[in-house]
Each structure stands twice: as C-alpha cells, then as structure tokens.
Amino acid sequence: MQKIGVVGAGNVGVGIVDALVMLGISKKIILYNRNIDRAFGEVWDINDAVPLLNGNIHVSATDELNDLKDCEVIAITIGDKQEKGESRLDLLNKNRVIIVDLIKQLDIINIEAKIIIVTNPVDIITRIAISHSNRDKSKLFGSGTVLDTIRLREEIGTKLDINRKNIHAFVVGEHGDSEFALWSVATIGPILLDNFGIENFENIKEEIMQKVRRRAYNIIEKKGYTKQAIGIAVAKLIKAILNDEKRIFTLSTTLSNNCAHIVSDVVLSQPCILGSNGIESVLLLDCNNREFELLKNSIEVLDKVYLDLKLL
C-alpha cells in the first residue's frame, strides 16, 4: 500500500493532508508532529470527513519519526515562524538546525523515500537539506515555483481569455522576489506568446509578474498564512511520483550542469520531469539575454543568503 508522510501539523502540513484526502491520492497518510495532541486533533477532524468522501483512506498521527520508515513520499513543512525582532537570517539559522537534524534522521530511517521540502525559504532550506543528506539528489527537492507557475498561467489565461491548460509558461529561479518568467519560450498551444499579436505585451508581462510575485504576500496580509493552494500543489507532486506521471514541474533542485554554462551549487527552481524515481531529468533553461541576466541575479541573491547563513 502506498504510504505518504507529512512532517509538520501546521497550516501547510494540514493543507497537504486535506488535499491528499479530498483528491483520493493515497490510501494511507501519516501526519508527524512534535506536539502529538495537535496532530491527533487534526487527524481526528480529517478522519471524520473521510466517510463523506468516496474511497477508503486512513490518516494517522505520530510523534515518532520511525513511523515514516515505509513511506514512499515524505513532505516536510516544519519550521519556526519569525518572531518579533528576528531577522530573516535569525529565522533561517533556527530552521537550519531543525532541518539538518530531521534530514539526518530520515536518511537513517528511510533513505529511499522521495522527500519534498515545502518549508520556506524553500530554495535555501532545500540546499541545506541536500548538503547534509546522503540521499540521491533526485529524491530530495523543493516545491519551488510550482504554485507561482500555476498563478502565471492563470493570469495569462485571464488576460487573454484563453484556458490556462493551453498555456505553456514557467516561473523559474528563486521562489521569491527574484523569480522570473521564461517569456521567450512561453507558448499558447504551438504559438510563441511573443508572436500572438498582443498589444502592449511588454507592459502586460510586467503587470502579470507583479501579480504573481505579490500573490502570496497579499494572501498573508489578509489571512495570515497560505494553505489551500500549496496543499493541492504538493499533493499533485505526490500524485505524479506515485503514478509515475513524468510530468514537468518547476522544482527547487541543484542548478543543472548544462544550464547556460553556469557552474554553481545554488538550488533554485527549474523545469523538471517528475516520476516514480523523483526528479528524473532537469531540463535545460533556454534563456534569452534578458532572462539570462535575471537568472544570474537570482543565483546571486540565493548564494548571498546561503553564504551569510554559513557565517552565523
């Protein structure tokens, strides 16, 4: 039986479990949390909903990492929240300790599981996890700009009145302020977006990307956190692994060796083929000159944060 582990019973962790149950993606889900009472409360609530849905799904709670030993996929959402007076680096330093300890334990417990890092800032946390793990890199990656890419396609579709399923466009780089769209290779069906005859398209591009970058901030300003969309996005990643779908997602992973001839240990979002073995291939980023500069900027931003963190 396919078993999924979710580490962390906060808003995002519970959002992932909710999505897995609602979409019927796995028959057995286990929610790990250091505070077992919180995990039990969430699991009991979710299990009360299962009889109202089709299928036979069991969700359980644990505070023992060893219970994740036979999970095929594990999503990691844990991490401290930023407290008043703390800098981003202070928060990162605390979360680094948590992630390093967790990854080392999971390497011992279940080295074959595919691990999806969801904890933010996802690129930096994923890089830390990779650097302290013996797991094959293809089996350890971040959720990256998967949700940003969906937001981009939705914004383009809304602007042009075209179904987003026919829009092929990707957000890459940092999952954050330096992310950017690969406009030069974006298409509607077989037609390059740049050749679609859109008036004032350069202005529209900037307007769309501003909305994409600001979306999470706007949600957090209104309700304090994001949950539903990221939960479904990660559930879709898990589904792609379980069903060996070979779908393309923009995931946080080590920069491809053949990416624009840049040599770096940085971790950022790139289009990847996702299947039963995890990331089965990282696709070459085909950038024009402007996008290449944006890529270098994203690398510099992420490298600086990582190197500053190592100096703490």
Say if CB 150 and CB 235 are below 8 A apart. no
Tokens of 203: 């202005």
Distance CA 131, CA 160 (A): 43
94 and 207 both lie in a single domain: no
Residue type for position 66 = N
Beta strands in the chain (DSSP E): 3-7, 28-32, 58-62, 73-76, 114-117, 140-142, 167-168, 171-172, 180-181, 187-188, 191-192, 247-254, 267-275, 278-282
| Among candidate residues 142, 157, 185, the one where a domain is terminated | 142
Tokens of 135: 């797991």
pTM (2 decimals)? 0.94
Can you give the residue range of the structural domain that contains 28?
3-142
110 and 34 both lie in a single domain: yes
Distance CA 265, CA 270 (A): 14
273 and 291 both lie in a single domain: yes
pLDDT at 54: 72
Give me the CATH number covering residue 30: 3.40.50.720
- Catalogue the active-site residues: 175
Distance CA 293, CA 291 (A): 5
192 and 126 both lie in a single domain: no
| Among candidate residues 89, 113, 142, the one where a domain is terminated | 142
Q: What is the pLDDT of residues 165-205, one digit of tens each?
A: 999 999 999 999 999 999 999 999 999 998 887 788 888 89
Q: Which residues pair with 254 in a beta bridge?
A: 267
pLDDT at 310: 74
Instruction: Name the percent of the chain lying above pLDDT 90.
Output: 73
| Among candidate residues 85, 112, 142, the one where a domain is terminated | 142
Model confidence band, residue 258 (pLDDT cutoffs 50, 70, 90): low
Model confidence band, residue 1 (pLDDT cutoffs 50, 70, 90): low
Residue 50: pLDDT above 80?
Answer: yes
Name the one residue in this structure whose structure tokens are 């300003």.
Answer: 221
Tokens of 244: 């060996």
Q: Which residues pair with 140 in a beta bridge?
A: 115
Residue 259: pLDDT above 80?
Answer: no
